[in-house]
Amino acid sequence: MNHLRLAARRAYSTAKPAVVPRITPGLVGAIGNTPLIRLNHISEEVGSDILCKAEWMNPGGSVKDRAALYLVQDAEERGLLQPGGTVVEGTAGNTGIGLAHVCRAKGYKCVIYMPNTQSQEKIDLLRMLGAEVYPVPAVAYENPENYNHQASRHAAKLENAVHTQQFDNIANRRAHIETTGPEIYAQTNGEVDGFVCATGTGGTLAGTARYLKDMKGDNVKIFLADPPGSVLHSYITSGKKLFERSGSSVTEGIGQGRVTDNLAPDVDLIDGALTIPDEDSIKMMYRLLDEEGIYVGVSSALNVVAAVEMAKQLGKGKKIATVLCDGAYRYQSRLFSRQWLESKKLDTAIPEHLQKYIIL
Ligand code: PMP
């Protein structure tokens, strides 16, 4: 044996055994248990640890894989879905992508209704995963043509089919009570001081908040973050009155015009709310690339802006957790296109030294 190989063997024999996850029972076993990443530059700047769940590392590439798995398991447990059955859902895309993966892995068909304002990448991916996709006009929930109501009617017409109803089915929130919350608690040794994120269904915020508050009571603060046009910020800060949606945002999958059944049981756990302008979210998305090497979508960037703001409000030396909901891959034709950014008047929000990332 030559001396180099001998030296390598000695080094290996003193190394600690690697801690790696066990063999997973199929794809669904690979959902969750994502890393909690400290944003090194941003944390130094604010004087608190900004800790982010790397949800793009889920098999379907987003935080919604967790909810998708729980929604399907819930339908199975309630006897609503028999082998070979069909899962129907209304989604901005990520829940659909999660469901499409879980359905393929478990042998179900998958039908997705989504607002036609969503990125082409998400529609293409859903179809590649074998889902039947119906992009429909983006109208308010009150309108019977809203994508959720269309999904409901579609499921009702089929045998052995279920509308999983991510917005109001609390199996969604349970996914985060049983996985996201406990993971953040364990990864911080219980020392998390704050959690903040934006809401679509509200499942991530409500479920994680429930677990962390059950563990830490008032020693952990919970903030909600809204994009422009969403009404939950004003609901929480102005005495629980719902306002008309007004304004719009370039974020996808977040912002809400009502208190969903997933959010309702835990709304009182929310200690504060923030509205984050699109300009700040887009700028943060480019900063995350440049300073942290992290390639995530604009809802993730919004969460980081909110976490920084929360850190400022709670004072230095805290640990603030949030989620990086998905990667930028599924939005790149928009978020890295100069023409698109100009059409949304967001090109000027990106500082000179970050303009080099606008490559499309
Ligand atoms: N970010 C993105 C990109 C999403 O697609 C979603 C879900 N639509 C969320 C955040 C919000 O997650 P939740 O539904 O758990 O509130």
Among 221, 272, 230, CA closest to 249: 230
Per-residue pLDDT band for 92 (boundaries 50, 70, 90) equals: confident
- pLDDT at 174 exceeding the cut of 90: yes
CB-ligand 1 contact for 204 (6 Å cutoff): yes
Confidence band of 311 (pLDDT split at 50, 70, 90): very high
For 324-359, b where at least 16 C-beta lie within 10 A, e where not — what string?
bbbbbebbbebbbbeebbeebebbebbeeebeeebe
Q: Which residue has a Cα nearest atom 3 of ligand 1?
A: 253
Q: What does the alpha-carbon distance between residue 281 and residue 304 come to, in Å, rounded to a whole number?
A: 8
Q: Do the bridges between strand 49-54 and strand 36-38 make them parallel or antiparallel, or are there none, so unpaired? A: antiparallel
pLDDT band at 222 (very low <50, low <70, confident <90, very high): very high
Residue 260 has pLDDT above 70, yes or no: yes
**Which pLDDT does position 4 carry in this prediction?**
64
The pLDDT value recorded for residue 14 is 65
Q: Could you say which of 53, 64, 106, 109 is catalytic?
A: 64
Q: Is the pLDDT of residue 241 over 80?
A: no
Domains of the chain: 34-56+177-357 (3.40.50.1100), 83-159 (3.40.50.1100)
CA atoms of 113 and 132, how far apart (whole Å) = 9
Global pTM? Answer: 0.94
Predicted local distance difference test score (pLDDT) of residue 8: 62
Q: How confident is the model at residue 50 (pLDDT cuts 50, 70, 90)?
A: very high
Strand duo 86-90 + 194-198: pairing = unpaired
Instruction: Using the predicted structure, report yes or no on whether residue 1 has a pLDDT greater than 60.
Output: no
Q: What is the DSSP letter of 101?
A: H
Is 216 a catalytic site residue?
no
C-alpha distances in angstroms, 123 versus 112, 203, 330?
A: 9, 23, 10
State whether the beta carbon of 64 lies less than 6 angstroms from ligand 1: yes
For the chain, the average pLDDT equals 94
- For residue 204, report the distance from its CA to the centre of ligand 1, in Å: 8
Inform me whether the pLDDT recorded for 5 exceeds 90.
no
Residues 13-43 pLDDT 10s? 666 767 777 899 899 999 999 999 999 999 9
Strands 109-115 and 86-90: parallel
How far away, in angstroms, is 251 Cα from ligand 1 center? Answer: 10
Q: Beta partners for 90?
A: 113
What's the gap in Å between 254 CA and the centre of ligand 1? 5
Contact 195, 222 (CB under 8 A): yes
> Averaged over 177-191, what is the pLDDT?
98
